[in-house]
Amino acid sequence: MLVIFLVFVNLMGSKGIASDREITLKEAINIGLQRAKEWNVNATLSRVNSVDETMGGSRGETGRRFNWFMIFVVPGTDDYVLIGISEKKITVFRPGKQTPDRTIPYNEIKLDSSDVLQLAKDKYGLNLGKDWATGFHFTLDSIDGLPILTVFGNDQDNRFTRISFNAKNGDVVSAIHKLPNGGGLISKRNGINNLTKKGMAITGVVAEKNSLVVWGDKKPTQFSTTKQPFIEWSHNNGDTWTELQANNYVTHAWFDINDQLYVATEKEVWAGITSKRKGTKILSLDHTIENVDYSINNHIAVISNEKVYYTTNQGESWEQAIVPKRFYEVQISDNGDLVGITEERRILQKTNHGWNEITMPNSNDIPEDMKVIHNRLFITIQNGIWTRNLQEGNWRKIQVDETIVKLIKKGEKLFGTTHRGEAIYSINMKDENKSEKVFDARNFIVSDVDIMGDTLWIATIPDYSWEEMTIQSRQ
């Protein structure tokens, strides 16, 4: 079975220039069919699709692509062959066995990829795809006994779009695009939920005294939340907002104990950002910052390119630590201790002699997530949360009604979300035996949460679903 389909390549930029090494769908079929017939004279086409690449060219704008994959089957048997074509040459030839699949008679393919692309542009204003499946892409399948030729791109609002045609006569079979549902900033107070910034991807929120900061994307798509990034500050509980300056899209933000705002972007960390000043850059890296943490007294640690960079003087100087295993998260304590969780779910703590593993109290427990607040470690497992002081070995168990898979730390506050973010719990830091469900999030995709006074602030991002399109213009 074909497993390579529209391989992701994140390419942005202007329209490509057509190349004579690009070919249409039917041209690709002709090349593949000749080789398939040499393999088995009864070989019959079953499916075709174009594949993303980094080779330049028109990216499908002329109905042509560099790379194509197709499957031919032998009717009445379980024999098939996968054929890959790149720049008019066969680069993959892989016979195998599979459950018999539908076939597409060659003489039924009256339209080519260039034909359906023009129809899609004329009827629906289809544009080049971005972020994923770049440019225009094409597939040919047999559906309900008909040869269905589909073109993929973006609609006029930059949303992922799929338009299918009957390859025999050009009739539109289906025209659908992915539309956002939900997204925005929710404030919960006295049991009442209010939604603002509707449709936006709010990827983070932080609340401190009378200040509220949110960040995300004003015009998200299914495959990107960095199209129109923003970060905004409110001094009146979200009634009005002031946009702040940031060099790039924001990945994290927090206030230190002096109410100074810190912001992490793709490769930088900034301090002292206000509505009137951009702040001071305290860290700039060559590689993407993958994770950020800060302690109550504002020690800072980040992961980038399999290294941990950390500071215990608010960014005046930074040290670097090489990690023995790839971390997906790092934490830093008030004492400057570094703790990381590896991709194999091992918890490691940095010492003067290297990294030592923190042994779980029960060998069967598998950490889901971990956080450090002050000098205390919190680790979520299937049936609760383990906690201990980093300098002590005594563990205590926090009972939670549901399995917490993600911990969210906001200064001295700790929240936990369940599977798929369906519920948010608040972990009582004064009485660690208590936890409380503070939000039922089954109808939302929660990305972050914080609390200010008696108001809970929940950052959510949109979900996406296929919906029918209407014809944009006359043919």
Question: What domain range is 162 assigned to?
Answer: 25-178
Same-domain pairing of 156 and 191: no
Q: Which of helix, strand or coil describes residue 274?
A: coil
Same-domain pairing of 293 and 371: yes
Q: Which of helix, strand or coil describes residue 463?
A: strand
Please state the domain count of the chain. Answer: 2
Residue 16 lies in a domain: no
Same-domain pairing of 262 and 118: no
Tell me the DSSP string of 386-453.
Answer: EEEETT----EEE--SS-EEEEEEETTEEEEEEGGG-EEEEE-SSSTT-EEEEEE-TTSEEEEEEEET
Same-domain pairing of 151 and 249: no
Spatial CA neighbour of 81 closest among 38, 26, 22 = 38
Same-domain pairing of 174 and 221: no
Residue 18 lies in a domain: no
What is the pLDDT at residue 132?
74
Same-domain pairing of 172 and 204: no
What is the pLDDT at residue 2?
35
Q: Which of helix, strand or coil describes residue 215?
A: strand
- Read off the pLDDT of residues 428-438 as tens digits, 9 standing for 90 and up: 776 656 788 99
CA angle 128, 134, 139 (to 5 degrees): 90
Q: Which of helix, strand or coil describes residue 27?
A: helix
C-alpha–C-alpha distance, residues 5 and 47, integer Å: 11
Domain final position from 178, 195, 230: 178
Same-domain pairing of 267 and 299: yes
CA angle 103, 105, 108 (to 5 degrees): 130
What is the pLDDT at residue 226?
87
What is the pLDDT at residue 282?
97
Domain final position from 145, 178, 211: 178
What is the pLDDT at residue 12?
31
CB burial of residue 343 (10 Å; 0-12, 13-18, 19+): exposed
Residue 309 lies in a domain: yes
pTM, to two decimals: 0.80
Residue 472 lies in a domain: no
Residue 15 lies in a domain: no
Same-domain pairing of 174 and 186: no
CB burial of residue 80 (10 Å; 0-12, 13-18, 19+): buried
Query: How long, in residues, is the chain?
Result: 475
Structure tokens at 373: 């607040």
pLDDT tens, residue order, the chain (475 aa): 333 333 333 333 334 566 789 999 999 999 999 999 999 999 999 999 999 887 877 889 999 999 999 999 999 999 999 999 999 999 999 999 998 889 999 999 999 999 999 999 999 999 998 877 789 999 999 999 999 999 999 998 888 999 999 999 999 999 999 988 999 999 999 989 999 999 999 999 999 888 999 999 998 888 888 889 999 999 998 999 999 988 789 999 999 999 999 999 999 999 999 988 889 999 999 999 999 999 999 999 999 999 999 999 999 999 999 898 899 899 999 999 999 999 999 999 998 878 999 999 988 899 999 999 999 999 999 988 999 999 888 899 988 889 999 999 999 999 999 987 789 999 977 665 678 899 998 888 999 999 999 999 999 999 999 999 987 644 4
C-alpha–C-alpha distance, residues 103 and 147, integer Å: 9
Residue 293 lies in a domain: yes
- Read off the pLDDT of residues 98-114 as tens digits, 9 standing for 90 and up: 988 899 999 999 999 99
Sheet strands (E) in 266-360: 268-271, 280-284, 289-294, 300-304, 307-311, 319-322, 327-332, 338-342, 347-351, 354-357
What is the pLDDT at residue 317?
96
CB atoms within 10 A of CB 367: 16
Spatial CA neighbour of 388 closest among 333, 330, 449, 325 = 333
Strand order across the 250-255 sheet = 250-255, 261-265, 268-271, 280-284
Residue 51 lies in a domain: yes
Residue 9 lies in a domain: no
Same-domain pairing of 273 and 136: no
CATH number, domain of 189, equals 2.130.10.10
Same-domain pairing of 43 and 190: no
What is the pLDDT at residue 447?
94
Tell me the DSSP string of 342-389.
Answer: ETTS-EEEEETTEEEEPPPSSTT----EEEEETTEEEEEETTEEEEEE
Task: To the nearest 10°, report the CA torsion of 145, 151, 155, 161.
Answer: 50
What is the pLDDT at residue 433?
65
Same-domain pairing of 131 and 275: no
Cβ atoms of 370 and 378 closer than 8 Å:
yes
Same-domain pairing of 173 and 220: no
Q: Which of helix, strand or coil describes residue 1?
A: coil
Domain final position from 111, 146, 178: 178
